[in-house]
Amino acid sequence: MSPVNARLLIATTNPAKLSEYRLLLARYPLELVSLRDLAIAREPEESGATFAENALLKARFYFRLARLATLADDGGLEVDALGGAPGINSHRWLGTEADDTMLAEEIVRRMADVPQGRRSARIRCALALVYKRDHQTVEHVTEAAIEGVIAPAIYRPVRAGFPYRAVLYLPARGCYLAQLGEEEEARIGQRRDAVERADRYLREIARMPPAC
């Protein structure tokens, strides 16, 4: 009989993000479960002032609900010429009615007159883990970013859940981030680096009995 893996909740409702984490965490002997798997529909108020604060806020919230080791992240696009905007407001920058294509189009519109040398930007990710170790709650946050420049046009179609990958151009690779396949995006992206920096904590979770 094969051993039962420890469980890790990936606290997201974004199917594309969940799929990416399944690729990134495939090397760990973990059973990944989603909010949908656990029928959790509640959401915390994202009141943090930084990506790291929001990631930890979400991980704490879902850990308390699920009583499972929990991974949550927060991230978005930072454009230097826009003073770091949209930043922590990346997903609600234009209000709740804006879709992914509208977000990407607005970035291109606002950057239309910005010269090439001032188009630097990055997609940042903060990843938070919350879990129990010997009856003590462990909290760990890592951050990473992928650097590029804002392109003058959108790469279409805009992939659902990842609007800003359609406007971030990677000069070293000669392509948009969105032009890479799903596995290649995961291999070089900001979430990969954040996962790497959390490796020892993920290994610790993987060694825990399934009930933890």
Catalytic residue IDs: 74
Sole residue written with tokens 């009615």: 97
b/e string for 22-52 if b means 16 or more Cβ within 10 A? Answer: eebbeebebebbbbeeeebeeebebebeebb
Would you state the structure tokens that stand for residue 140, as one six-digit string?
Answer: 């760990």
**Edge-to-edge, what's the strand order for the sheet holding 175-176?**
30-34, 6-10, 70-79, 120-133, 136-150, 168-170, 175-176
DSSP letter assigned to residue 146: E
Of the candidates 45, 75, 66, 46, the one whose C-alpha atom is nearest the C-alpha of residue 142 is 75
115: three-class secondary structure by DSSP: coil
Of the candidates 199, 197, 170, 159, the one whose C-alpha atom is nearest the C-alpha of residue 20 is 159
Q: Please, are residues 143 and 52 in contact by the beta-carbon 8 Å criterion?
A: yes
CA 39/CA 30 separation, integer angstroms: 20
